[in-house]
Amino acid sequence: MANLTLIFAEGAAPTAFGMDATVWVSIAMLVFLGILIWKGVPGAIGAMLDKRIAEISKQLNEAEALRLDAESLKAEYEAKLATATKEADDMRTRAEAEAEAVIAKAKADATALIGRRKQMAEDRIAAAEAGALAEVRAATAKAATAAAAALIAEKHDANADKALVDQAIASVTKG
């Protein structure tokens, strides 16, 4: 070992069969590469890489198919959303029209009801007026009858009544 340290210390590289370490490393590398080629390692690596490329290509194709499916689903749902929005707008428009019709009908019904109630009130007032007028006439006739009876009783006595009866009999016999 002392010899090796002495050799390295002097700067000379060890040699075997007249070749230095660089040549031996190169030869070992060539032998290793030759064995790898002889055993078919590059083909196996290539096959493995081809297999991996095929898997990646398959995954890319699947991803593209999924992207296309997602785009078609997105378009389908956008169409459904547009249809639903249109239907909702149509329903809102119909509901507004129906509400306006109901309001108009309610106004017409209220107006008709007010007219009927007004007519009924006017009829009641007319009936009350007619009743009051009939009562006034009856009271007036009663008062007139009582006044006439009182006047007749006061102004006519039995002689006046006899003269009236005689006059009535005379006019009946003449005629």
Confidence of residue 111 (pLDDT cuts 50, 70, 90): very high
Banded model confidence at residue 93, pLDDT cuts 50, 70, 90: very high
User: Residue 14 in contact with residue 21, Cβ under 8 Å?
Assistant: yes
**pLDDT value, residue 6:** 47
Q: What is the pTM of this model?
A: 0.39
Q: What is the pLDDT of residue 170?
A: 84
- Average pLDDT estimate for 129-139: 88
Q: With left for phi above 0 and alpha for psi between -120 and 50, is residue 15 left, alpha or beta?
A: beta
